[in-house]
Chains A and B, each alone.
Chain A
Amino acid sequence: MKILVCISKTPDTTAKIAFTDNNTKFSEAGVQFIINPYDEWYALVRALELKETQGATVHLITVGGADTEPVIRKALALGGDEAFRVNADSTDSFYIASQIAAHAKQEGYDIIFTGKETIDYNGSGIGGMVAELTGLPFVSIASKFDLNGQTATLRREIEGGEEVCEVDLPVVVSCQKGMAEARIPNMRGIMAARTKPLKVVEPVAADSLTAIVSFELPPAKAGVKMVPADNVEELVKLLHEEAKVI
Chain B
Amino acid sequence: MSVIIFADQFEGKIKKSALEAVQYGAKVARQTGTTATAVVLGEVGAEELAVLGQYGATKVLHAADARLNEPEAGVVTKVLAEAVAKENAGIVVFSHNFSGRAVAPQLSARLKAGLVAGAISLPDMANGFVVKKNVFSGKAFANVNITSEKKIISVLPNTFSLEPGSGTASVEAFSPAVSDADFRVKVVKSETISGEVPLTEAEIVVSGGRGLKGPENWALVENLAHALGAATACSRPVADSGWRPHHEHVGQTGFTVRPNLYVAIGISGAIQHLAGVNGSKVIVVINKDPEAPFFKAADYGIVGDAFEVVPKLTEAVKKYKGN
Contacts and interface: CB of A to CB of B under 8 A. Distances in A.
Interface in B41-68: none
A215 B142 contact: yes
Given A121-B135, A213-B130, A162 B301 contact: no
Contacts of B133: 122
A17 B194 CA distance: 39
A210 B118 CA distance: 14
Interface residues of B, number: 100
Nearest to B118: A122
A145 B44 CA distance: 32
Contacts of A246: 204, 228, 261, 317, 320
Contacts of B159: none
A224 B300 contact: yes
B201 interface: yes
Contacts of A90: none
Contacts of A184: none
A37 B272 CA distance: 12
B136 A128 contact: no
B282 A166 contact: no
Contacts of B297: 221
Nearest to B102: A140
A234 to B, nearest CB: 9
B289 interface: no
Contact of A128 (B10, B98, B102, B193): B102
A182 to B, nearest CB: 10
B285 A159 contact: no
Interface stretch (A53-61, A130-138, A195-203): A130-138
Interface string B164-195: 00000000000000000000111111111110
A217 B103 CA distance: 29
What's the dominant secondary structure at chain A's contact region? mixed
Given A178-B246, A236-B313, A240-B320, A217 B196 contact: no
A166 B188 contact: yes
A173 B113 CA distance: 22
Interface residues of A, number: 78
Interface string A104-133: 000000000000100111111111110111
Interface in B99-147: 99, 101-110, 112-118, 128, 130, 132-147
Nearest to A128: B105
A89 interface: no
Contact of B192 (A122, A160, A222, A240): A160
Nearest to B286: A229
B302 interface: yes
A225 B145 contact: no
B142 A158 contact: no
A168 to B, nearest CB: 7
B140 A159 contact: no
Contacts of B22: none
A116 B252 CA distance: 12
Contact of A216 (B116, B140, B194): B140
Given A226-B303, A243-B261, A218 B278 contact: yes
Interface string A135-169: 00111110100000000010001111111111110
Contacts of B144: 210-213
Nearest to A127: B105
Nearest to B280: A245
Contacts of B261: 239, 243, 245-246
9 contacts: A129-B106, A161-B190, A166-B185, A210-B114, A210-B144, A213-B143, A239-B284, A239-B300, A246-B261
Given A162-B192, A235-B316, A236-B316, 19 more contacts: A92-B114, A93-B108, A124-B96, A125-B104, A128-B102, A158-B10, A158-B192, A164-B187, A209-B148, A210-B144, A212-B142, A215-B143, A224-B285, A229-B308, A235-B284, A235-B313, A243-B299, A246-B317, A246-B320
